[in-house]
Amino acid sequence: MLYTDYIESSAGVMLGKPVIKGTRITVALILKKLSEGATQKQLLTAYPGLSEAAINAALAYASDVISNETVIAVA
């Protein structure tokens, strides 16, 4: 699965934040809800525009972004 099949960023939608394609559901919202203890089933019920694959794509996107960030140490 490629997360690019499910995630998009557009300046005209949610100020360019990454969202699930065709929705205004941000990757950040999905991550926040999961970190607060929500289950995938609860997210699917609360947000009918989501799919299990879209939730997994949000996790893959977040993992990719974090693994590719550059940290610059400032002394």
pLDDT tens readout for residues 5-41: 999 999 999 999 999 999 999 999 999 999 999 999 9
Residue 75's pLDDT is 83
Residue 44's pLDDT is 98
Residue 9's pLDDT is 97
Beta strands in the chain (DSSP E): 7-8, 19-20
Annotation: CATH topology of 3-67: Arc Repressor Mutant, subunit A (1.10.10)
The mean pLDDT of 62-75, rounded to a whole number, is 91
The mean pLDDT of 29-55, rounded to a whole number, is 97
Q: Is 19 exposed, middle or buried (0-12, 13-18, 19+ CB in 10 A)?
A: buried
